[in-house]
Structure 1
Amino acid sequence: MDERNNKPVPQLIEVEPMQDGYRWVAITAMLLAIGIILHTVSPNVGGVTPNWTIAMYSIVINLTRPKLSQAIGIGFIAGLTLVPSSKSAFPLGNVASELAGATVCCLLVEAMVKIGISEWKLRPFITGFVATMTSGGLFTFILKLILGLPLHVWIYAMLPVVAIVGLLNGLITFFLYAPVRKLFYFQEDEK
């Protein structure tokens, strides 16, 4: 009681941060920013450039195991941030492709956790590769439609490049996952 006004003084309640709090937002924002910067400055070598953004959101999704709606948000933001730095004929295709990539990555991580292989060492590689194949496959298909390219150009010229980028992204996700996990002290059994 406040003796001057005879009114009760409200007590502060301390709330403990939880895994479902906003820590994943900060980690996502930081890693996506790193991915966008690397995506912007990475040189094109023989028509192939790793998509650092996909690798970074694959790491985030593997670490934080967000809800599907959150993964869709991650994909949407990733796609929007790629639009200004895109070197493609249709930059807005990034929005749809990253939505698809992040969604598939999230569903794949959840499926792996449900069948008991959440600690599988190759999980980051597989999810990074599959997310890239999904995102890149959709993106190049959108380009095929926009540019009116024949189907055989997409199958024999574009998809092999997507597969090479997928392998690079799988490797990037695999090799960066453990250091990033250690940096943020993630315990996967918290979820």
Structure 2
Amino acid sequence: MELEKNESELTIHDKNKGGRYRWVTITTLLLAIGAILHLVSPNIGGVTPNWTIAMYCIAINLTKPTLKQSFGIGLVAAAINIPTSKSAFPYGNLLSEPIGAIICTLLVCHTFNMTLGKLNIKPAVTGFISTVASGMTFITILKVVLSLPLSVYLYAMIPVVFTVAAANAAITQILYFPAKKLFDLKGDQ
């Protein structure tokens, strides 16, 4: 919008709202934060939150990508996890992370609003379910590839997945609102 004032030109621009690739920027920044946190977070009782899943769940809740885009987010997350993984078979991430990201996108884009009073709890729900989907995929691949006994799978690995999912639900919920404010996203995403 252009206005004339005292014979000089004054141009007023609306605040840039991003563009059609803003989701890439938001996702990249959050995955980078997740990678750093993944590297520096210590194990607590043998369990570490999966910061990568928490961060892509926040990004997906904020940007609502397409399924194709969420598959790409999952592949990037897997690529980040492979070199920093403490797992015996880190390449399982190549399947588990895209599954987690796609599940998150399906929940974000195709479910009703989830609130507790006025609090949007969709970030916590998507963080929990996406972590379970990704984690169960990962440990199933690990069980098959390493020929682990069923008892280890049932009584050691599955409880860890649900413990990490609970931690990720809390992390995703807590960090969603500051991230939303940081990226200046309006409305209840």
Partner of 2:12: none
The question of whether the paired residues in 1 share the 8 Å contact of 2:113 and 2:120 is answered with no
Structure with greater proportional strand content: 2
- 3-state SS, counterpart of residue 95 of structure 1: helix
Task: Give the corresponding residue for 2:130.
Answer: 131
2:93 maps to amino acid? N
SS at match of 1:84: helix
Counterpart in 1 of 2:74? 75
Q: Which moved more, 1:20-29 or 1:170-179?
A: 20-29
* 150-159 or 94-103: bigger deviation: 150-159
The answer to whether the Cα contact below 8 Å between 1:54 and 1:131 also exists between their aligned partners in 2 is yes
Q: CA RMSD in A?
A: 1.9
**2:30 aligned partner, one-letter code:** L
Do 1:105 and 1:128's aligned partners in 2 also have CA atoms closer than 8 Å? yes
TM-score by length of 2: 0.85
Q: How far off is 1:43 after superposition?
A: 0.7
Alignment size in residue pairs: 173
**Matched AA of 1:167:** A
Measure, in 2, the Cα distance between the counterparts of 1:49 and 1:182: 27
Identity rate, percent: 53
Structure 2 residue 153 is matched with structure 1 residue 154: yes
Report how far residue 44 of structure 1 moved: 1.0
Given that 1:124 and 1:170 are in contact with CA atoms closer than 8 Å, whether structure 2 keeps it comes out as: yes
Mapped contact 2:114–2:121 kept (Cα < 8 A): no
Q: Which has the larger radius of gyration?
A: 1
Distance 2:60 2:21 in 1: 14
Checking the alignment, whether the CA contact within 8 Å between 1:63 and 1:188 is kept in structure 2 is no
Give me the TM-score of the superposition, normalised by structure 1: 0.85
Name the aligned partner's letter for residue 156 of structure 1: Y
